[in-house]
């Protein structure tokens, strides 16, 4: 069949509806997944996007036509879908979502048994191949559809990670961005003593207030204003499918996903001394430094859940975190959950007696560039030139190019989907950061 190959990404399937992703393609993806996994039962959930219901229904048709049963989770967060697959031992799961992308996008996040993800080199390539070959499986017996609501079960699971009795009555502004957090948060929050001020909890796939992408500072403006107006202790924002979260302190400063990783690690190592924790290659040096100071074992990984989850299983790591706001927990089938990460941070702040901004200041002495994107024609050539220029540094080529020095480090990675190269720099001082960033960009952009 004809379809745009670019919808198959490194970690999921995603494109513009209906030009790139339409109901017919959704049917074929469901059918190909059923043929690839050879499962008995697949769980399917969806977000609140305008096109999600239609894609969800046709995806399910493709699955049951192949003779596979479906458990329809209905409206759910992505981390809720992972929970359902792990908790109820389903053979696989699909979430209809485009995560933080604009309203015209949609897609599919897919996992196998145990909530382990399919990726471009591990399963998604087989589904793409089935579409290319126009393969359709029709079973003599269609699968059955059962419906299941997991909202309360998932809330109870998330709350099991903390001691509710020690939670302090913080004033917290919570921005759901009109995404799935508006559904998943209330059953948890009603069981806590905090005073929460909701922002955009109404499910609305048109995203009328701002894009549900809290990693971008421009999308935190309303949250920052509300924190100031309410004199709140801090705030939190979730992305569209609610599997990622970002904290904002009372002064309106965003806490990066890497530093939130450090906060979660701090609390978990207090309760589980000596455990292994993973962090991705773009995370601040503050993360492994805190882990090791607390007596844990820190292991650096490539970016992306398709790499982190298998490594967590290999090392039996209690936790893994990414700069992008993904947080993975061993006791959550090694799957990510923004909600669990928020609760663990809430417990840490309750125990510490320190405001969020002071807790961050105590563990973070560094200066960072943030991600800087440059459009290039030959990413490989640029990496080679930068590597040669910084030949005297300590090199790591496991994910793009990472070069370490005593007073700064940087990572340069090609984009998986665009002709871009992404730069992250961290340094001991602002002067070193500015100078080294300019030095690297001069090579990249020349």
Question: What are the boundaries of each domain within the chain?
Answer: 5-150, 169-253, 257-363, 367-444
Please, which residues have CB within 8 angstroms of residue 121's CB and are 6 or more apart in sequence?
A: none
Q: Which CATH class is domain 5-150?
A: alpha beta
Hunting for tokens 């979260």 — which residue is that?
245
Q: Which CATH class is domain 169-253?
A: alpha beta
Tokens of 272: 């589980």
Please, which residues have CB within 8 angstroms of residue 223's CB and are 6 or more apart in sequence?
A: 173, 175, 199, 214, 235, 237, 248
**93-118: per-residue pLDDT in tens?**
999 999 999 999 999 999 999 999 99
Question: Computed over its alpha carbons, how large is the radius of gyration of the chain?
Answer: 22
Which residues carry out catalysis? 99
Question: pTM here?
Answer: 0.96
Is the preceding peptide bond at 304 cis, omega within 30 degrees of 0? no
Fold match between 169-253 and 367-444?
no
Tokens of 262: 């450090």
Tokens of 232: 């709140």
Whether domain 257-363 has CATH 3.40.120.10: yes
With residue 245 as reference, give the H or E element that holds it. strand 245-249
User: Which CATH number fits the domain 367-444, given the four candidates 3.30.310.50, 3.40.50.300, 3.40.50.720, 3.40.50.10170?
Assistant: 3.30.310.50
> Residue 352 has what pLDDT?
96
> Residue 417 has what pLDDT?
63
Q: Is 335 exposed, middle or buried (0-12, 13-18, 19+ CB in 10 A)?
A: buried
**383-401: per-residue pLDDT in tens?**
999 999 999 999 999 999 9
User: For the chain, which ranges sit under pLDDT 50?
Assistant: none
- Rounded CA-CA distance 343/321 in Å is 15
Q: How far is CA 428 from CA 285, 364, 406, in A?
A: 10, 10, 9
> Residue 369 has what pLDDT?
95
- Rounded CA-CA distance 112/302 in Å is 21
């Amino acid at each position: 069949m004809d379809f745009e190959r670019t919808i198959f990404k490194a970690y999921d399937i995603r494109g513009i509806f209906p030009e790139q992703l339409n109901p017919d393609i959704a049917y074929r993806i469901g059918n190909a997944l059923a043929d690839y996994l050879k499962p008995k039962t697949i769980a399917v959930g969806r977000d609140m996007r305008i096109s999600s219901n239609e894609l969800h229904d046709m995806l399910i048709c493709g699955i049951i036509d192949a003779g596979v049963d479906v458990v329809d989770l209905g409206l759910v967060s992505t981390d809720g879908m992972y929970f359902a697959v792990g908790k109820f031992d389903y053979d696989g799961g699909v979430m209809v979502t485009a995560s933080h992308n604009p309203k015209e996008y949609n897609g599919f996040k897919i996992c196998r048994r145990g909530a382990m993800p399919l990726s471009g080199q591990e399963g998604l390539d087989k589904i793409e191949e089935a579409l290319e070959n126009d393969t359709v499986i029709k079973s003599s017996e269609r699968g059955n559809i059962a419906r299941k609501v997991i909202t309360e079960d998932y809330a109870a699971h998330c709350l099991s990670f903390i001691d509710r009795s020690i939670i302090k009555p913080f004033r917290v502004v919570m921005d759901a961005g009109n995404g799935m957090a508006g559904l998943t948060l209330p059953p948890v929050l009603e069981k806590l003593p905090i005073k929460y001020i909701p922002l955009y909890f109404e499910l609305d796939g048109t995203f009328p207030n701002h894009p549900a992408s809290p990693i971008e500072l421009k999308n935190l403006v309303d949250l920052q204003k509300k924190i100031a107006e309410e004199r709140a202790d801090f705030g939190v924002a979730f992305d569209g499918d609610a599997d990622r979260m970002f904290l904002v302190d009372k002064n309106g400063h965003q806490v990066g996903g890497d530093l939130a990783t450090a906060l979660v690690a701090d609390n978990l190592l207090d309760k589980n001394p000596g455990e292994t924790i993973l962090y991705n290659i773009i995370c601040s040096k503050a993360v492994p430094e805190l882990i090791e100071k607390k007596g844990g074992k820190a292991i650096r990984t490539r970016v992306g859940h398709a790499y982190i989850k298998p490594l967590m299983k290999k090392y039996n790591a209690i936790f893994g975190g990414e700069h992008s706001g993904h947080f993975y927990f061993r006791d959550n089938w090694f799957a990510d959950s923004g909600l669990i990460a928020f609760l663990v941070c809430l417990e840490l702040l309750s125990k510490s007696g320190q405001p969020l901004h002071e807790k961050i200041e105590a563990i973070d002495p560094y200066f960072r560039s943030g991600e800087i994107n440059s459009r290039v024609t030959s990413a490989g050539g640029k990496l080679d030139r930068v590597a040669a220029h910084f030949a005297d540094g300590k090199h790591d080529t496991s994910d793009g190019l990472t070069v370490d020095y005593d007073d700064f480090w940087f990572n340069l990675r090609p984009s998986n989907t665009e002709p871009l190269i992404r730069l992250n720099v961290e340094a001991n001082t602002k002067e070193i950061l500015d100078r080294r960033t300019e030095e690297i960009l001069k090579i990249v952009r020349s």
